[in-house]
């Protein structure tokens, strides 16, 4: 299977003669064996197979294999949410006493996970602006730095990560670059091709695409050489006493060590397992991902172009539009388009923006983004309503800001909805 469109539809699952055409939902917590010895081999990671769905399940593995192929990686795992994927991806190599460099415009949930919860676990973070200078990026590293983290397209700031620059800095310090590729999806950007080492996803967004199942994924490029930086990554390069002394980087190679460790240790201990049925729903979404992403991008660009021409709109942010602060980066990393999410300011500030929201007919008011149906959010009157205009600016969200997630409806209908909502302010 060569082309990504074909992988979307058929990747991960090749049924044999007389087998189900659609992936089977293996809704079973456990698996039966004839002898204790056979099961013991699975427990010891001496043989591959299934024994308990908290660790691995055939339906989830089928879908993970498709996502690995989409990203061009060597191994992947599903998690119960995007939050779990980012937590596992970082905690798999950075624990108490370690440090991580992260880009500051990342998703608020991830920022909180790092800045509050993981700090309580003893992991230290330094945040750098996506457009920081090379010197500022360099200065963020410490002797105990274990990873660099960023988002291809930041949610909702829509900043584009200069993946090559961040990868180069990470590799110069002997650590991997982890990229959350949720908004771009592998259809629009494959971070491994630009030097990223680990990719994460909130599959809840475009991959599922229908607002039906919360989920996450982690993919390994198989390229980062843990053994060459043995002292930095003892969890991968020294025996795991909780797993019969297995050394992941030796036993599973560079291509399998990261995901095997995250499954054997983190999934075993934290249990953030997706249900086989959620994996099945995710797979249905993946089958049309390439078709949907194209339409999401076309619609977002059409709506953004309209907004730019309307004098009642003060500013528009869409990386695909010439003049956007990250247009050059979008051209380089996202030549097919960025995503369906745009943001803009309504003349008249907080009041006008909240009346605009009330007038929308087609676009629903939701905190969600990235599904087939269009939706809008006005943070100043909802998620951030307790903040003053000044506090909002400090958080990088202006009082007039509307975030719009353009679905795959008719662009004309979306523009007309926005137009009538402005007319009626």
Ligand X SMILES: *Cc1c(COP(=O)(O)O)cnc(C)c1O
Shortest approach of ligand X to residue 221 CB, angstroms?
19
- The reply on whether position 278 binds ligand X by CB under 6 A is no
- The reply on whether position 109 binds ligand X by CB under 6 A is yes
Q: Which is nearer to ligand X, 158 or 380 (CB)?
A: 158
- The reply on whether position 105 binds ligand X by CB under 6 A is no
Shortest approach of ligand X to residue 151 CB, angstroms?
5
Q: Which residues pair with 76 in a beta bridge?
A: 219
- Secondary structure of 363-380 as H, E, C letters: CEECCCCCCCCCEEECHH
Question: Cα(209)–Cα(265) distance, rounded to whole angstroms?
Answer: 30
Q: Which is nearer to ligand X, 202 or 260 (CB)?
A: 202
Beta 145-151 vs 177-180: how paired, if at all?
parallel
Q: How many residues bind ligand X (CB under 6 A)?
A: 17
- The reply on whether position 87 binds ligand X by CB under 6 A is no
DSSP codes joined into one string, 276-343: HHHHHHHHHHHHTHHHHHHHHHHHHHHHHHHHHH-TTEEEEE-TTSTT-TTHHHHHHH-TT---SEEE
**What's the token pair of residue 397?**
């969200």
What part of residues 144-173 is at the interface with ligand X (CB under 6 A)?
151, 155
- The reply on whether position 214 binds ligand X by CB under 6 A is yes
Q: Reply yes or no: is the peptide bond before residue 385 cis, omega within 30 of 0.
A: no
- The reply on whether position 205 binds ligand X by CB under 6 A is yes
- The reply on whether position 341 binds ligand X by CB under 6 A is no
- DSSP label of 48: -
Spatial contact of 219 and 81, defined as CB atoms under 8 Å apart: no
Q: Which residue is nearest to ligand X (CB)?
A: 82
Residue choice 59, 62, 74, 110 for contact with ligand X (CB under 6 A): 110
Where does this chain touch ligand X (CB under 6 A) — which range of 177-185, 237-245, 276-284, 405-413? 177-185
Q: Which residues pair with 341 in a beta bridge?
A: 405
Shortest approach of ligand X to residue 219 CB, angstroms?
14
Question: Which residue, 418, 391, 408, is CA-closest to 291?
Answer: 408
Where does this chain touch ligand X (CB under 6 A) — which range of 6-14, 81-89, 188-196, 282-290? 81-89
Residue choice 180, 197, 220, 326 for contact with ligand X (CB under 6 A): 180
Shortest approach of ligand X to residue 278 CB, angstroms?
11
Shortest approach of ligand X to residue 82 CB, angstroms?
2
Spatial contact of 146 and 312, defined as CB atoms under 8 Å apart: no
Q: Which residues of the chain form contacts with ligand X (CB under 6 A)?
A: 81-83, 86, 107, 109-110, 151, 155, 180, 182-183, 202, 204-205, 214, 216
């Amino acid at each position: 299977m060569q082309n990504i469109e074909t992988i979307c539809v058929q990747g991960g699952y090749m049924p044999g003669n007389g087998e189900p055409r659609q992936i089977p939902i293996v809704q079973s917590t456990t698996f039966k064996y004839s002898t204790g010895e056979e099961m013991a081999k699975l427990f010891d990671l001496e043989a591959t197979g299934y024994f308990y769905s908290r660790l691995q399940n055939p339906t989830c593995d089928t879908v993970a294999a498709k996502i690995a192929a989409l990203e061009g990686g060597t191994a992947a795992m599903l998690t119960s949410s995007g939050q779990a994927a980012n937590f596992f991806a970082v905690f798999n190599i950075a624990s108490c006493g370690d440090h991580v460099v992260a880009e500051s415009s990342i998703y608020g949930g991830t920022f909180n996970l790092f800045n509050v919860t993981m700090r309580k676990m003893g992991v230290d973070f330094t945040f750098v602006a996506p457009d920081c200078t090379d010197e500022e990026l360099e200065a963020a590293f410490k002797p105990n730095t274990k990873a660099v983290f960023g988002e291809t397209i930041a949610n909702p700031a829509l900043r584009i990560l200069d993946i090559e620059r961040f990868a180069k800095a990470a590799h110069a310090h002997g650590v991997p670059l982890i990229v959350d590729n949720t908004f771009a999806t592998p259809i629009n950007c494959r971070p491994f091709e630009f030097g990223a080492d680990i990719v994460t996803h909130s599959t809840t967004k475009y991959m599922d695409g229908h607002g039906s199942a919360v989920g996450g994924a982690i993919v390994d490029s198989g390229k980062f050489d843990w053994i060459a930086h043995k002292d930095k990554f003892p969890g991968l390069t020294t025996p795991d006493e909780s797993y019969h002394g297995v050394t992941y980087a030796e036993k599973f190679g560079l291509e399998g060590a990261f995901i095997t460790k995250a499954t054997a240790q983190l999934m075993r201990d934290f249990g953030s397992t997706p249900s086989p049925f959620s994996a099945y729903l995710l797979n249905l979404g993946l089958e049309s991902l390439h078709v949907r992403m194209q339409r999401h991008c076309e619609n977002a660009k059409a709506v953004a172009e309209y907004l730019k021409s309307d004098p009642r709109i003060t500013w528009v942010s869409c990386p695909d539009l010439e003049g956007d602060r990250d247009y050059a980066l979008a051209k380089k990393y996202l030549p097919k388009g960025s995503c369906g999410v745009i943001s803009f300011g309504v003349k008249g500030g907080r009041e006008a923006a909240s009346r605009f929201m009330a007038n929308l007919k087609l676009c629903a008011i939701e905190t969600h983004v990235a599904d087939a149906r269009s939706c809008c959010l006005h943070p100043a009157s909802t998620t951030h309503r307790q903040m003053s205009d000044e506090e909002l600016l400090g958080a990088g969200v202006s009082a007039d800001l509307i975030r719009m997630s353009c679905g795959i409806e008719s662009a004309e209908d979306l523009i007309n909805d926005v137009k009538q909502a402005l007319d009626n302010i």
